[in-house]
Amino acid sequence: MVNPIYIFVIALFSAFLLPVIDKLGRKVTLGVFYLSLTAIFAVTLLWFRAFGEGALIENIFTAGSLPPFSINLRMGTIEAFIMLFVNFGALLGAIYLYGKLLENKVYALMLFLTLIMGVNGLIMTRDIFNIFVFLEITSISLYALIGIKQDARSLGAGFKYIIAGGLASAFLLLGIIYVYRITGNLNLDLIISENPLLLSKGGLIALFLVVVAFLIELKPWPANGWALDVYEAAEPGISAMVASLVAAGMVFVFYKFIPLLPHSWHGMLILFGMLTFVFSNLTGLKQKNARRLLGYSSIAQMGLLMAVLLLVRRFNDAMDIRYALSDIAAALFVNHFLAKAGLFWLSGIINKEKARDWSFNKQPVLVLLFAVFIFALVGLPPFPGFWAKWTLITKLAQYNMIGWIVPIIIGSLLEAAYLLRWFGATIKREQTEQVIIPRYKILPPLLAAIVLVIIFPSFAPYMTGMKTMFFFPLLAAAVLWLLDVMPERMRGMVMILILAAFGWYIYPLAKGIVLIFEFMFIAGGIVISLASLNSARPKQGYWEFLVMLIMSLALIPLAKSSMEFFLAWEFMTVSSWLLILRGKNGEKPALTYIMFSLGAALLILTAFALSFAETGELGLVLLSNLNIYAIPVYILLALGFLVKAAAMGVHIWLPGAYSEAEDEVTPIFAGMMSKISLWGFILLFGYMGNKVLGIFELPVLLGWIGVFTAFFGALMAVFQEDIKYLLAYSSMSQLGYMILSVSLLSHLGWTTALYMSVTHLFFKGMLFLAVAGIVSRIGTTKMYEMGGLIKKMPASFISVLIAIIAVSGVPPLSGFGGKWLLYTALIEKGWYLQAGLSFFAGAIAFLYLFRLIHTIFLGQLKARFREVKEASLWYIVPQFIFVGAIMAISMFPNLILKPIMAAVETQFPSHVNWDGYTVITALGYWNGNAVMMITMGVFMVPLIWLLVRVNMVQKVEQFNIVYAAERPDRPETTHFAYNFFAHYQKAIGFLVKEQITNFWNSVSEWFHSLSATFRHIYTGNGQTYALHIIIYIVVLYSLLGVK
Amino acid sequence: MTIITILGFLLIIIGLWGMLTRKHLFRIILGFSIIDTGIHLVIVSLGYIKGRTAPIFDADLSPIDAINRIVDPIPSALVLTAIVIGLAVTALMLVYVIQMHRHKGSLEISDYEELKW
Amino acid sequence: MIKRFFSLIFVVLLALVFLPLVTEIKPLSELGMTSAKYAEDGAAELGAANLVTSVVVTYRGLDTLGEVTVLFITTAGIGFMLRRKTILPEKKRRASEILKSGTSFLLPLIILFGVYIFVHGHLTPGGGFQGGVVIASAIVLLMLSDINMHPDHNILNWLESLSGAFYVIMGILGLILAGGFLDNRFLPLGEFGKIFSAGAIPVIYSLIGLKVGAELVGILNKLGREDK
Amino acid sequence: MEHGLLISIIYAFISLSVATIWGLLLGGIMMKVVARAHGRFGPPFWQPIIDIIKNNARRTSISHGIMYFLGPVFRIAGGMGTFLFIPFIYGSMVFGNFSFAGDLFLVMYFIFFGQLGMALGAGESGHPYSAIGVARGLSQMTAFELPFALSIISIVIQYGTLNITSIVAAQQGGILHWTLFTNPLATIAALIALQGMNMHNPFSIVIAPQEIPIGPPTEYHSNFLGLLQTNRGLFNIAKLALFMNLYFGGATNLFSMLIKTFGIYMITVIVGASFPRFRTEQSIRFFLGVPTVIGILAVLVTGYF
């Protein structure tokens, strides 16, 4: 194997000779320069491969003596791993800077090489003074390179950086010399083995000085203003290096010193790392400058990484270096390294100061890159950050360090908030100017993104036992993306075919309740997707996200382990968020949606982690064995699912998300995605049953939440003017019933929930599709702007009519079955008041349903809609498929009730009897078939009577009404639609004042003002920053309790 | 040789004080240099053993009993490196100040605060 | 004012942090493990009379290479930072007669002294850095005495590059021919205490001397003149 | 179904006819009573029947569209259905109706069928007063449904069944077995709700005879109106039969049915004659106030004590 010392040799040799070579011309120089970097990378690659094949750690001695008498280097798996990325990053960084390197003096090349050499040295050397030397090589090269951009800002930032760096190295030097004085040598390994010597007071101070110096190099909150300035002001190519490879070197050096630290320091240092993670992200919330924002994020990630490195020391098993790649820290490192460098490069390409000004100027590649980096940083699958967070949280729980999960969750959420907000804003920006971007600048971020993606198989150790099909959503999306060249409708059909094939594939795996859910997701998905075929204009990303959403929905019930569950859950979250973001005004609702969803996901993750901690395995079945953590797991899961169900109090994401998503997508959200929370509850109750906390039975509590959701959802729907908002709140209300009934934990209750969820899919699908069709023709969603459309869109009217009869629960249609089952189940269980309230909610539903159909289809037709045509067949066909389904199950409820009851019977004993078409429970009975027949009978009698004399009926025109001898003014004023239930609002509207929205707004506001407050410590004054460092040192010293 | 050590620390503190309170960029650099010097003093003072001689072999000092007669050679070697590095950083700082002055015409640290928050 | 107050408080507190380092740690009374080994075997192993030099050039040779690198990048950095060409029409005072005569007299002596120092680095106090500095001071003197005199940029470049490159080559030779990178023993150790002894140490130290001299001159030159 | 389909239909027809005629006569009697209370002479008590015949005999009519045309059909189908799902006379083959098809909840929800259809039909006419009437009616309906539902729940708890026939059976054997006496709270809540259901004063804002010319049915006339009027009689009886069955021990023969329905109806008429009218929001607040509390108490008393 090549002696790694050749890395230094190559770097130095070419650095020394470059000024001379430069006489031959800059092209030659650059050739030599890139060749050297490639050679360095090749050396590390060789080593990395060797370790992959099982090579042993190699110690490299210099000067022909053994350590501690000479300086030695070490090349081990971890070293090779870090250096691989460092040198890869170096190569990419150099490519990115090609333009700058070409136009600047040859010195830049030399400095770049020495910078890389310094970082490599930092990683390999085992001599503490040598660390200092390499640190200085790195720093000084960097100081000089920051000057590549010569303006007052960049220079000022550089100067502050030098002051901070100078202080850090001063303390480091002092510390090193005292460590030497006390231990008598400079070799790190020997010092570690003679650790007790350092446990005297002087020794601890020396150690403290060394450690604090590296902490400062890691830019801890709040002593890091100088670093932020550099991130903001320096040439982005340089910022990328600072954030990635220099940081990598510093982190690794810190890692090397960890074995020296007294155990009692760990807690405090972890705390400081976590504080950095949380508060940097908090401060980032208010940040407007893109690069400074990235700076905050970098600093936060470093804090997390530092904390994790210390935490990992406590996981005995994770230290197995053969799995270095799957190690948490490694994954976090890779994730941050590539994503952050990539983002800085992008920031250079976009070249806009304000994060809000970013736009991609119709460059799909840039959009994709941006997405990859942001998603990776937020920790979404399949990127390394996802595996890192998953493992980290499970391990923390397993090793009884649950408290640390809290800052990780808060920090992650804050980071997600500003990153995803930025992503959303950027994607939605008007794309105007066209800028030509040099190819060489695209290459580095492109390669970084590719590595982020293809590194995915390295996490295989975590996927053991996980079915391949859980990655199908990604695969399907990728396939559709590759088919981008096809006509749009063709792609849609391919997508539907994929869904069908997928359904075929998973059919044998599903039975019982799962099968019911699969039926809803796959069959419903296919039918509803038909409507999306209506337009042939290209829809970027649409089919990809849609197929991903539907497939991940279908996968969730099939998950056997919490890992599978969570992975599919995250896929679902991301794809649905992207679909909302596609909507015209989707930016804000998408942000709210993703924040709540991520919060829910983190709650669920924590619950799984706790379960893992207790049982040691990931199987979902094991939830039933929980004992110690049973209650917390129960509550966390329930909370997570409540958020997803948009229960009362956490519902504010729902109206916006449903309404602003594209019209063809909303039925999928309302009809299918909302049901996943029901599955969650089924899972929760199925495995964990009833749990009691204090005097509260938790399912009872959930039941109350459900019924209040149903009630308030309905009430809010009554007061909406926008049809999609109305339907959104209606969905919320319906979900409330399902939560209520599933919380009953009885055969009837679950039957109700499942029955409702299937029928809800049908009628919400119809309603939203009908609305989509209408909106596609008239272009408004405000109900008072519609009216009288029955004559223009009779098919849509029929579909809406059937749907609202079904929703309201009026016999003979299937909705009544749901109501009947619900009340029977509630009374059987003894939940009388809940029954009363849900009855009230059901009555309120009449209000909004009538309003819905009246204001759209009845009343006065507006002049400007006189020429509208019926919605396109693409909308009508799926609606009538659902109409058919509803009619069928109304007529023959057995079709659906019997399988549902049979499925539920595996969970609860059944007390239901069948007599032909009659369902008989202990309380009552219902014969859907007979009701249908009788209704048709009694309907026919008067109808025939009217039809007999139909000849005398004369059709009249619009406005021919009895109007007290006056002529009505205009349709706009005659159509009674706006503020339809004014008196209702007057009577009980106070119940739905926007208190909850205000609450969440103030939470957000509070975080932002906190952020604003905290960032005022960054005054911009270099001296103040120096003072921060001194204060940090003193405070940390006193907190560590050195004695 | 504690007195030298104390002197060294005194210089470090003085330098730090200067660095934190002087507004003029050159004085800040000066403060930094004083800190450096202090550290160098501390380094050499730590290698000194009372009554011993320099670690250079000659007629008076043979390698055989050197172990009991010489001062620690390592701090001397280290301080050499430290001095060179200190020099390098100082030089770079000065260059920065030159450039900053050229771009903004000011030598006050408080005039370089446009990056903040 | 508040900042000043805080500065005072925290500097005092920092002093308190340092205090135990002075009070608790007694003055050194005997050599530590590593230096004891150097004292016992250093001379025999490397054949250099100046133990500090052995440590600097060989035992901790990597540090020294780094140190040279630091100087090198400082030169490069300064050249890089000052790259914008803005020739300020500066009026320079002519050097005095005393300075001129003194220079012409002293210059060869100083250079000779510098060379002596780094050539004898393994025997007597001093070495490459010191020698290099002395040589640089001679050039400074020259520049002061003759304001129109500027060291040839090219020569400096070549000197820097080649001495650096050869230094690295020395290191590789050590790796290939002797025990490890920067091992001085690929050349014969010679007779202890003589000028041609201690293997490659004098060669390395000479290269360092040349390089340091060239670089310091370079730094001063750039700082003083701001080249193109 | 113990007997053939044809027989069932014949029985249902008989039952419907009796109920409709009795319902219409009740309406006529009420008009007469109110008129006398006002010091007027009043129309003959068979006036509603005359109106229906007259309306159906009209030779022309106009239509605003298909839904408008179907509105009255929905309405009367709702009335007939509701009635047919209630056992009219306990133990009677002829008046047992189709109660085998479903229980109490079916009846409660089927009430909405006619209302919904009617509202839709009225809506298509495009007359704002129709829509205003519907909005008022629905709002008020949601409000009185709450105490009514609570009352029903209380009864279901009390009797442990949703089967109306069983509930009636449980009340046999003396007047003190009536829900009226065994569960007075539920009965009171339900009777207040009935006042709203029948849209008598103080809850008559929906049809608001003075301000709006007649509310939802504004645009209807001739045979459409005839159907609506028929329904008014039938539907009235359906509700009364339901109340009779649930709270007043049901009826074992035609005569007791006549007495009881008349009695229940007179309660609402008398209350209605003695109160002025609420505005919509007032009546909503009213129903959600005291009657709801009574309903909750009824549920609590039967359910938890």
The 3 state secondary structure assigned to chain C is CHHHHHHHHHHHHHHHHHHHHHHCCCCCCCCCHHHHHHHHHHHHHHCCCEHHHHHHHHHCHHHHHHHHHHHHHHHHHHHHHCCCCCCCCCCCCCCCHHHHHHHHHHHHHHHHHHHHHHHCCCCCCCCHHHHHHHHHHHHHHHHHHCCCCCCCHHHHHHHHHHHHHHHHHHHHHHHHHCCCECCHHHCCCCCCCCCCCCCCHHHHHHHHHHHHHHHHHHHHHHHHHCCC
- Is chain A adjacent to chain C, meaning 3+ CB pairs within 8 angstroms? yes
Q: Residue D210's pLDDT is what? A: 57
- CB A692, CB A659: distance < 8 Å: no
Q: Does residue C127 form part of some domain?
A: yes
Helix, strand, coil shares, percent, chain A, to 5: 75, 5, 20
> Interface partners of A (3+ CB pairs, < 8 Å)?
B, C, D
Query: Which one, of A223, A207, A382, lies nearest residue A303 by Cα?
Result: A223
Residues from chain D that touch A988, judged by Cβ atoms under 8 A, are: 284-285, 288
Q: Which residues contact C86 (CB under 8 A, 6 or more apart)?
A: B102, C226
Q: Does residue B106 form part of some domain?
A: yes
Q: Phi, psi at residue A125, to the nearest 5°?
A: -70, 150
Q: Does residue B92 form part of some domain?
A: yes
Residue D131 in contact with partner chain A when CB distance is under 8 A: yes
Chain A, 51 to 90: residues with Cβ < 8 Å from chain C are 60-65, 68-71
Parent domain of C115: 54-73+95-228
- C-alpha angle A33/A36/A38, rounded to 5°? 110
CB-CB under 8 Å, A162 with B96: yes
- Mean pLDDT over C21-41 rounds to 82
Note the pLDDT tens digit of each residue in D149-195: 999 999 999 998 889 999 999 998 888 889 999 999 999 999 999 99
The top-scoring range by mean pLDDT among A186-190, A257-261, B35-39 is B35-39
Residues from chain B that touch A133, judged by Cβ atoms under 8 A, are: 81, 85
Within its chain, how far is the Cα of A90 from the centroid? 30
CB-CB under 8 Å, B85 with C34: no
- CB D272, CB D201: distance < 8 Å: yes
Among partner residues C4, C29, C71, which is closest to B49 by beta-carbon distance? C29
Average pLDDT, chain A: 89
Hey, what are A318's tokens? 């994770």
- Mean pLDDT over B9-33 rounds to 92
More confident: C79 or A1006 = A1006
- CB A449, CB A373: distance < 8 Å: yes
Chain C, 44 to 73: residues with Cβ < 8 Å from chain B are 44, 49-52, 54-56, 60, 63-64, 66-67, 70-71, 73
Residues from chain A that touch B97, judged by Cβ atoms under 8 A, are: 159
A670/D292 Cα distance (integer angstroms): 33
CB-CB under 8 Å, A961 with D126: yes
Q: Residue C151's pLDDT is what? A: 74
CB count in 10 Å sphere of residue A478: 14
Q: Find where tokens 């006036």 sit.
A: D47
Within its chain, how far is the Cα of A636 from the centroid? 18
Residues from chain A that touch D82, judged by Cβ atoms under 8 A, are: none
Q: How confident is the model at residue A361 (pLDDT cuts 50, 70, 90)?
A: low
A751/A818 Cα distance (integer angstroms): 9
Q: Which residues contact D231 (CB under 8 A, 6 or more apart)?
A: D72, D75, D76, D78, D79, D114
Q: Does residue B57 form part of some domain?
A: no
Q: Does residue C84 form part of some domain?
A: no
- Dihedral of the CA atoms A81, A85, A91, A97 (nearest 10)? -160
Q: Residue A502's pLDDT is what? A: 95
- Mean pLDDT over A530-553 rounds to 89
| 3-class DSSP state of A996 | helix
The top-scoring range by mean pLDDT among A58-62, A1029-1033, D33-37 is A1029-1033
- Mean pLDDT over A181-201 rounds to 84
- CB D261, CB D22: distance < 8 Å: yes
Q: What is the DSSP letter of A15?
A: H
Q: Where are the alpha helices (DSSP H) in A646-746?
A: 653-660, 666-668, 675-688, 698-718, 723-742
Cα→Cα distances D96→A424, A837, D164, D174, Å:
65, 32, 11, 21
Residue B29: CATH number of its domain: 1.10.287.3510
Parent domain of B91: 2-52+70-111
Residues from chain A that touch C4, judged by Cβ atoms under 8 A, are: none
CB-CB under 8 Å, B113 with A133: no
**Residue type at position A779:** G
Q: Residue D190's pLDDT is what? A: 93
Whether residue A570 has pLDDT greater than 90: yes
For residue C33, the chain A residue with the least C-alpha distance is: A184
Q: Does residue B117 form part of some domain?
A: no
> How would you classify the pairing of strands A72-75 and A692-693?
unpaired
A402/A311 Cα distance (integer angstroms): 12
Q: Which residues contact A131 (CB under 8 A, 6 or more apart)?
A: A122, A125, A176, A188, A253, A256
- Mean pLDDT over A537-552 rounds to 90
Q: Residue B1's pLDDT is what? A: 53
**Residue type at position A653:** W
Side by side, the strands of the sheet bearing A913-915 are: A913-915, A918-920, A925-927
CB-CB under 8 Å, B112 with A1022: yes
Q: Phi, psi at residue A348, to the nearest 5°?
A: -70, -35
Note the pLDDT tens digit of each residue in B84-97: 999 999 999 998 99
Note the pLDDT tens digit of each residue in D253-289: 889 999 999 999 988 888 888 888 888 889 999 999 9
Q: How confident is the model at residue A324 (pLDDT cuts 50, 70, 90)?
A: very low
Note the pLDDT tens digit of each residue in A826-841: 998 989 999 999 999 9
- Mean pLDDT over C18-26 rounds to 84
- Counted across chains A and B, CB pairs separated by less than 8 A come out at 123
Q: Phi, psi at residue A696, to the nearest 5°?
A: -100, 130
- Counted across chains B and C, CB pairs separated by less than 8 A come out at 143
ipTM of this complex prediction, to 2 decimal places: 0.86
- CB A275, CB A304: distance < 8 Å: no
Note the pLDDT tens digit of each residue in A795-825: 999 999 999 999 988 888 888 999 999 999 9
- Mean pLDDT over A68-79 rounds to 86
| 3-class DSSP state of A861 | coil
Note the pLDDT tens digit of each residue in A231-270: 999 999 999 999 998 999 999 999 888 888 888 888 899 9
Q: Residue C90's pLDDT is what? A: 59
C110/C119 Cα distance (integer angstroms): 14
CB-CB under 8 Å, B23 with A152: no
Chain D, 99 to 128: residues with Cβ < 8 Å from chain A are 100-106, 109-110, 112-113, 116, 119-120, 123-128
Q: Residue C150's pLDDT is what? A: 73
- Mean pLDDT over A678-685 rounds to 93
CB-CB under 8 Å, B70 with C22: no
- Mean pLDDT over D80-99 rounds to 86
Note the pLDDT tens digit of each residue in A682-693: 999 999 888 888
Hey, what are A950's tokens? 């139909």
Whether residue D211 has pLDDT greater than 60: no
Whether residue C227 has pLDDT greater than 50: no
- Mean pLDDT over B28-57 rounds to 89
> How would you classify the pairing of strands A925-927 and A918-920?
antiparallel
- Mean pLDDT over A1006-1025 rounds to 89
Q: How confident is the model at residue A1028 (pLDDT cuts 50, 70, 90)?
A: very high
Residues from chain A that touch D119, judged by Cβ atoms under 8 A, are: 850, 854
Average pLDDT, chain C: 82
Chain C, 95 to 124: residues with Cβ < 8 Å from chain B are 123-124
Q: Residue A318's pLDDT is what? A: 47
Residues from chain D that touch A848, judged by Cβ atoms under 8 A, are: none
Which residues, in sequence order, are bridge partners of residue A696?
A693
Q: Does residue C24 form part of some domain?
A: no
A390/A618 Cα distance (integer angstroms): 12
Give the closest-approach CA distance of D229 to chain A in angstroms: 13
Whether residue D212 has pLDDT greater than 60: no
Q: Does residue C149 form part of some domain?
A: yes
CB count in 10 Å sphere of residue A102: 13
- CB C29, CB C37: distance < 8 Å: no
Note the pLDDT tens digit of each residue in D16-40: 999 999 999 998 988 888 888 888 8
CB-CB under 8 Å, A184 with C73: no
Q: Residue A53's pLDDT is what? A: 85
Q: Residue A321's pLDDT is what? A: 40
Q: How confident is the model at residue A971 (pLDDT cuts 50, 70, 90)?
A: confident
Whether residue D209 has pLDDT greater than 70: no
In chain D, where the domains are located? 5-304
Q: Residue A682's pLDDT is what? A: 93
Query: Which one, of A240, A232, A233, A213, lies nearest residue A136 by Cα?
Result: A213
Q: Residue D1's pLDDT is what? A: 45
Whether residue A274 has pLDDT greater than 80: yes
Q: Does residue B28 form part of some domain?
A: yes
pTM above 0.80, yes or no: yes
> How would you classify the pairing of strands A696-697 and D61-63?
unpaired
Hey, what are C28's tokens? 């050194």
- Dihedral of the CA atoms A430, A434, A438, A444 (nearest 10)? 10
Among partner residues C51, C71, C82, which is closest to B70 by beta-carbon distance? C51
Q: Does residue B82 form part of some domain?
A: yes
